[in-house]
Amino acid sequence: MAQYEPVARIGGGASGTVFKARDRRSGRVVALKSVRVARARDGLPLSAVREVALLRRLQHFRHPNVVRLMDVCATSRSERETKVTLVFEHVEQDLKTFLDRAPAHGLPPDTVRELLRQCLRGLDFLHSHCIVHRDLKPENILVTSGGRLKLADFGLARVYSGHAALTPGVVTLWYRAPEVLLQSTYATPVDVWSVGCIFAEMSRRKPLFCGNSEADQLGKIFDLLGLPLEDEWPRDVALPRGAFAPRPPQPAQGFVPDMEPLGTQLLLEMLTFDPYKRISAFNALQHLYLQERGGEQG
């Protein structure tokens, strides 16, 4: 760790603290993410070792839409805990900051389209390597000054989820898929739902579903998208469909008024309640909405 000189704290979340730092050897600016991991009897838990090894292996592909992991350092804090520091390339702003700085009239439609395209490219790459992000939100997506979008914090939720409970009030519900809110089984479709929420937010300039509990979040989803059919409700959950009042879906033009029709069509395919019917990142990239202008950018 002596190689990296911390410059400023730039963020913190459920799974750790992020610092801007300088690499003393190369002089380049990097981002340090430190997390505490409970130790097994013979060192780090095997799951953590496997996950970090997978993240390191992914770096050989140098995907342009996934933030680059440059180094991993581990320091023993006590007999029960090890501090693992991940060294990433540094990007000046996250998507939330980028959207906050957007003009009052919002982002141009082609900019929204291009950011969504890049987001789905990064996501398809992660999913093709069996990584489920689980916590995609504007704060976990970076945007360079040149407009390059990069997914960050990928893969870490699974490894460090045990520590998340120690940091209350950090993890937002607003981008969580229904199957996660219902505590049902889930897989890669949860990330597509999150990106759908982010897509809508880029268009409307404010979050789509702002619940304050799991049940409230589901209620807000059903207020817009309608209560799912009985046969779509997962069987392995404690919360019954009957806990929610029946309601029809609202016209998408009402909640994303500035989105063009093809974009609205793709959005609804991403925000499909049944994860088995939800479009995949790979198929979303083939959608007509993303085949229009700017298809060769990014």
**Hey, which residues are catalytic here?**
135
Q: Torsion over CA of 17, 88, 283 and 175, rounded to 10 degrees?
A: 10
111 — alpha (psi -120 to 50), left (phi > 0) or beta? alpha
Q: Tell me if 57 sits within 8 A of 75, measured CB to CB.
A: no
| DSSP-derived 3-state class of residue 5 | strand
Q: Rounded distance, CA 4 to CA 73, Å?
A: 11
Give the CA-trace dihedral at 190, 165, 19, 191, to 10 degrees.
0
CA distances from 14 to 8, 95, 169, 229 (A): 19, 18, 9, 34
Q: What are phi and psi of 291, to 5 degrees?
A: -90, -5
